[in-house]
A and B are shown apart, each in its own frame.
Chain A
Amino acid sequence: MSRKISKKNIAPLIMTAILLILITVSAVWIIYNEKSKGETVTIVSNGVTVWTGDLSSVNEELIVTVISDPSDEKSPYVIEGNSPRGSHYNVVRITREGVSIIDSNCANRICIHEGITNSPAKPIVCLPNRLMITVTGKAHDTDAITY
């Protein structure tokens, strides 16, 4: 303890501490919520809820296409099946295991790479198309943490 904590050293120490705390809290939060499972799928496009449904009510698989073409007056809306059209669309696949985006005309395609989710802690977002898919609510066949 010979090294004195001078005024010069205190700022970087505090900052390092803040960063470490933030990383720890984030990591714990991610690990803690990793296994949580949801049930109700909600698809929100441009701030409007365009589709909701339960994962358990899906038979084999359900494919819907979310259209959010600004030139289309009805948009945003959802049509059944894989039917891309317009300037902004995302094709969403819903199975009992979870929901995923299988096709999109956005530039970076991160939404497709996000994979399947059935967790309230991991929504799927497509920023260019302003699309957001969440899975919320208690699932019946799990004892995991839910909201």
Chain B
Amino acid sequence: MKKDTRKIVTLGLLAALSLAIYAFESILPPVIPVPGIKPGLANIIILFTLKRFGKKEAGSVLLVRLLLSAFLFGNATSLIYSAAGGFSALLIEIIFDKILSGNHLCLTGAFGGLFHNIAQLLVAILIMQSTPIFFYAPYLCISGIVTGLFTGFATHFLLKIKIPET
């Protein structure tokens, strides 16, 4: 019982941290003026939760962050984009982490970032009903891989931190 409470509190803190990073990121001016290109630092927390706690926990933290960010700063459309991106990234990260048996976290992160952007691009094509958006694919491909690599590296070092037991 006590252990459960601690876990819930930790997951809640992780969700809050992820939301805070997401909020901070959204007020930064766009470095590269292409829609969809973002550092994606909030995904560090999701990948960390996946590694430290597991699939279900990572999914719940992601869901909480998505809903709260949509209520606080976004709207229904931005929720569709971020949900598609977030859950595809998580799914790919679960699969690749299994294939790589938990090693090479930067590769897992890179593929997560890549599929995050691919999913968002497909959603954009569906919502905008316009295929020329596909011209953004190469930009999103490179940015997804680069930011994903960083996510993986950051998570790798974050996992070395031990959460105090008391």
Residues of chain A having any CB pair with chain B under 8 Å: 8, 11-12, 15-16, 19, 22-23, 25-27, 29-30, 44, 46-47, 108, 110-111, 113-115, 120-123, 125-128, 130, 132, 134
Contacts and interface: CB of A to CB of B under 8 A. Distances in A.
19 contacts: A8-B101, A11-B100, A15-B96, A15-B104, A15-B111, A16-B107, A19-B107, A19-B110, A23-B141, A111-B35, A114-B34, A121-B135, A123-B132, A125-B136, A127-B81, A127-B127, A127-B128, A130-B128, A132-B133
B99 interface: yes
B24 interface: no
B129 interface: yes
Interface of B: 26, 29-30, 33-36, 77-78, 81, 96, 99-101, 103-104, 107, 110-111, 114, 124, 127-130, 132-133, 135-139, 141-142, 145
A18 to B, nearest CB: 8
A110 B35 contact: yes
A15 B145 CA distance: 12
Nearest to B149: A19
By DSSP majority rule, is chain B's interface helix, strand, loop, or mixed? helix
A91 B96 CA distance: 44
Contact of A12 (B29, B107, B136): B107
Contacts of A16: 107
B35 A27 contact: no
Contacts of A26: 137-139, 141-142
A54 B30 CA distance: 30
Contact of B145 (A11, A19, A110, A125): A19
Given A19-B145, A23-B141, A114 B129 contact: no
B99 A125 contact: no
A44 B96 CA distance: 38
Given A12-B104, A123-B133, A125-B35, A110 B99 contact: no
Nearest to B134: A123
A128 B29 CA distance: 16
A132 B100 CA distance: 40
Nearest to B111: A15
Contacts of A19: 107, 110-111, 114, 145
B138 A113 contact: no
Contacts of A123: 132-133, 135-136
A122 B124 CA distance: 16
Contacts of A126: 35
A98 to B, nearest CB: 14
A2 B111 CA distance: 30
B124 A11 contact: no
A47 B129 contact: yes
Contacts of B133: 123, 125, 132
